[in-house]
Structure formats: C-alpha cells, structure tokens
Amino acid sequence: MWEMRKKAVGLLGRTQGDKRPIPFVEDTAVPPERLADYIAEFRAALDARGLDYGMFGHVDAGVLHVRPAIDLKDPAQEGLIREVTEEVVRLTRKYGGLLWGEHGKGVRSEFSPAVFGPLYPALQEIKAAFDPRNQLNPGKIATPGSGDLLTVDGVPLRGAHDRAIPADVRAAYDESLHCNGNGACFNWNPDDAMCPSYKATRDRRHSPKGRAALLRDWLRQLAAEGTDPVAEARRLRRGSGWASFPRRLRNSLARRRGEPDASHAVKEAMDGCLACKSCVGQCPIKVDIPASRAKFLELYHGRYLRPLRDHVVGSIERMAPLMMQMPGLCNAVVGSALGRAGLRAVGLAATPTLSGLNLARELDLRGVRVATPAALDALDAADRARSVVVVQDAFTSAYETRLVLDLLDLIAGLGFRPWLAPYRPNGKPLHVHGFLGRFERVARTNAAMLRELSATGATLVGLDPPMTLTYRAEYAGALDRSELPSVLLVQEWLGRHLDALPTAAEPADYRLLPHCTERTTAAASLPGWQAAFARCGLGLSVLPSGCCGMAGTYGHEAEHRATSERIYGQSWAKHVEEAGATGRLLATGYSCRSQAMLVSGVRLPHPVQILLRHLGAAA
C-alpha cells in the first residue's frame, strides 16, 4: 500500500502545466462503511468547480488522499483553497469523520476546536504545560489560552511569491520551479543514485531541492531588477562573446573585490552538481537540475568571465579528431610533469591519455566502412535492414578505441553488417557547462546527419550511455521533435535480436554497475543486458550502487577531485574491491571505468567485451 501511494504521489507531481495537484484537503478519514458515499460527494464538490484531481487512499481505514490541481500563481484561483477546504470540512463532519486520518494537519488548524469539540481545552492545557510560550509550531493543532490558530488562507503561499516571476520566465525554467519540497533528494543511501553531491556534503544547498529554491529566489531577484533572463539568453545565443568582454571583465574584477551579487550563491551550489541526472529519474516530480544549471551558467557567464577550463572542456569534442592523429605527442604532454602542472593551472586533474590505436587502420583491417547515406542507399533492402551504424562519441573513440572496435566485432559476429558513423561532436560537454548557443548549433548539425543515416533503414546504436541519452534529453530541449535522431543504447539493440546470440561454451556469472544516468533515466533498458546474457547462458546481476563520482568532467575538475573520490568511496569502491581483477564486474559508463582505474587500479570490462569473448569461445 505504501509503495502504491508513493507512486501515486509521484505521478501526480509530474502533472504538466501551471495547475499542479496540491495536498490541502489531504488525509481525511471517515468510517469505511460510509466511504463510498463520502467519495461521491467529495468528487461532486470538486467536479462542480471544474477541478482536476488525484484521489487515492486506504479503503480499509476510510482514509482518503485527495490533491486538487490549482494554479496558485493565479490570484483568481487562490480563493479555491478556503472554498474547497470548508466544503470538505462540512462533508467530513456529515459522515462522522476526521480531517486528519494519519498526518498532514498543517494549516487546517483553525478547524481544531470544531473537530475536537470538548477535548480541545484539554489539548490547550497539554500545550500550555509543555510549551507555555507557544514556541513549538505556534498556531498548529492547539494554542495555550486564547492564542490564534493558523488559517488556511492566513499563511503565505508559494504561488504568491512565484507570481513575481514573469510567466515566460517560469515556463523557461519549468523543469525546476515546480519543486514541491518533498525532500526525496535528501537521500543518504550510498547504494542509491539520487544526488551524489548531497550525500558527499550533507549540505542541503547541494541537493536538488536546495538548488531549486536558490534558483527560484534568483529569478525573483532578476524580476525585481527588471532583468529578463529569457531575452538575455536569446541575445547571448545570437551575439558574439567579444562584444560583452569589457563588461564581463569589469564584473569579474568587482567579484574579486567581494562586491555582492546573489547569483554567486546560486553559482556555488550549481558548481557542486555532477549533472548526473539522477534527480530527473528519481525525484517524484522529475526536477531537472542539470537543465536549469546549464541555463543558469549561460546567463551567469554572460555577466562574468568564464574560467579557461570551461573553454578547454567545451572544445574537447572538436579537438578529439586532431588529438587522435597525434596520440603519442598528446600523451607525452599530458603525462609529463610540465603538462600536468599546466592542466592543473587551468583547473584540470586526473586527465586521461589517448588509447593510441589508429581507428581508420583498424576499420580497414575489418572491412568496416564509415557510413554515408549514399553508401547505405546503395545496398539492397535486406542488407540495409541488417546494417547497424555505431554512433561515435569523443570519449570512447579517442580514449577507448578498443571498445568501439569490440562493439563492431560483436555486431559482425552476430550476423549483422557494422558501420561507423562519421565523427561529429555530440555537444554534451557544451550543454553541461552552459554553452547553450554552441550546443544548439552542434545538436542541429549532428542530428541532421544522424537522421539522414537512419532514413536509409539502418539502425543507429550509441556506446556510451550518457552521450547516447543526450539525443533523447538535451537534444529534445534544443530541437523540434521532428529533428530528433533515433539512437539506441546497445542493450536496447541486443534486446531486439536475442535470437542471434549463441550459447556460451561455459556458464559464468557477472555483476553490472550501470552508469547512473542510464540507471535512473533509462532503467527500463537494463533488463536488456540481463536478457542478452541469459540468452547466452550467462548470469548477470545489476548491483545497487550510487554514482562513481566522475560524472563526465566533474571528477576531472581540480577543486572537485577530492569530493569525486569521496563519492566513489561511498558505494563503488566496495564493489570494485570485492571483485578485484576477476573480470566479473562490468561497467557501462566510460567515466565510471576511468574512475575505477584511477582510484582502485582496476580495469572494468564493458558488457560488450564479455559477450564478444563468449561469442568467440562459442565459435
């Protein structure tokens, strides 16, 4: 029953639009034998006012949880709070029930004297004995003497505060402004992905709820200043950064002198976000802090200069092909004392080295071609249907080239025709750091290329989960739905072709640590790995775990390196240390495998590599 209620609250919280279900007539209880009639009248009262609502509860106890959807930012709807509350009070008394079946008494305290009747003075005496100065929850349930009780419309409502934020601004930051304060992000379980920065710091500013509250306050202050963040964002995406350089330089110098700006507090909180997107998957109302963080950073750095590191990280995808042409030189620079000092000077730490494999040469050896629409269209229909195009990302192509080749080999070994998509920047690092104008341009170019490949009938598959899921999340925020490419995760593709998998020569059991973005925003895909392993006669258990702490670029930022390792130590470390070098512990994320190698010195295989190994053994 608790799980059902928890899911119902989450589903209601994800309602779209300005009208949101609000728990102000929550938790009434009537004798169970009278519940049906009570529900009928309750619904009639809400229907008569044209309200949508969610209704669930505990039939055996006569407890009802009801959340009418009201837009409290609309002054005309604010009066519904008292109107509906008084109607529900009347109905509850009519059916011999209580306003509070379990909890949630809140600000309905004005009705306490009527509900408790002759018992209310006894409650006042208890209150006076234990809290004579009325300091503990004043005005709730009972007050000593003749003190005032809270009233349903006598307390400030969040909607009244949010009215100060213009409607178009609220719509632009919708993914975080609807945080209802439920606190699901105050999660201390180290083996749960939700908000690793809160687990590491125990500082509520570094939780999705804390960041959403700071963002809401910041937007109110911008409105008070007369600043329109939506118009400012449009201007920044159109214009050149050089035109505003003198102003940003002056502001940055003023910041160094300690001149106040409320946006600095928001920046500090946002800097601690790993952009892992666990809040998107696990918050009951799907608060998306990484999306709001990117929008905030865009505006913040329209006022203040960016650190050089942001530009380095934002350019890494564009520079990857050039770096892959000279891996020896790049690795020598990164591995030298001077190179490490230079990287640390710009704020980067634990920088990885390139794999050094020549991808083009390896493709030639395998007879694998780079996919183009013309080359795919030249195939007959059957060959196009068997064609699988691996979509490159900068990190696996440059730093784990062997894994890209292993995926191509697995595709070929299962009887399909592998292709490699032309390299194009994905844009995720740009989005994470708030280069939203550049991100949109990169996304549009890349999506157009991928759509052309997909239009031939070939299947597109991405290797790294967070990069692949960018096509479904961040691209959806920047492009029209018709522009979005369809790129499958590896396990989603395998799940469609289980019959092609052979039985392994010897059974074996493995354990999997998925990337946290994959675990929380594509959880339905994970059984695909288990189904593929099971089809081969292999066992695969998905371990409960938190974040590895690397989260793309976060763990490479010098000031975050210690926190990154602390997050790793809370959950991943024990799993990796237990498995040691057995090769039985697998990880799907590039950043996760990098972290395990950096901290524990253990190289974790990808599930693709295990399937390929058993495929070779079976042959």
Percentage of residues in the chain having pLDDT higher than 70: 96
**pLDDT tens digits for 401-411?**
999 999 999 99
Average pLDDT of the segment spanning 440-463: 97
Spacing of C-alpha 556 from chain mean position: 20
Give the orientation angle of helix 263-271 with respect to helix 289-303, to 10 degrees.
Answer: 130
- How sure is the predictor about 214, in pLDDT bands with cuts at 50, 70 and 90? very high
Q: What CATH code is assigned to 2-104?
A: 3.30.70.2740
Please give the residue that has the higher pLDDT: either 569 or 284.
Answer: 569
Domain residue spans in the chain?
2-104, 164-306, 359-618
**pLDDT for res 182:** 83
Alpha helix locations (H) across 386-544?
A: 394-399, 401-413, 428-432, 436-454, 465-469, 474-478, 490-496, 516-521, 526-535
**pLDDT for res 14:** 66
Average pLDDT of the segment spanning 92-119: 85
List C-alpha distances in Å: 164 to 210, 217, 219, 222. Answer: 20, 10, 9, 10
Average pLDDT of the segment spanning 370-389: 95
Q: Is the pLDDT of residue 1 over 70?
A: no
Residue with token string 């279900």: 21
The contacts of residue 617 (CB under 8 Å, 6+ apart) are 504, 505, 506
- If you average pLDDT over every residue of the chain, what do you get? 92
**pLDDT tens digits for 304-342?**
999 999 999 999 999 999 999 999 999 999 999 999 999
The contacts of residue 349 (CB under 8 Å, 6+ apart) are 343, 556, 557, 558, 561
Q: Is the pLDDT of residue 532 over 90?
A: yes
Q: Is the pLDDT of residue 3 over 70?
A: no
Q: What single letter denotes the amino acid at residue 275? A: A
Tell me the pairing of strands 509-513 and 488-489: unpaired
**pLDDT for res 303:** 92
**pLDDT for res 308:** 94
Average pLDDT of the segment spanning 251-256: 86
Q: Is the pLDDT of residue 4 over 80?
A: no
**pLDDT for res 254:** 85
**pLDDT tens digits for 421-438?**
999 999 999 999 999 999
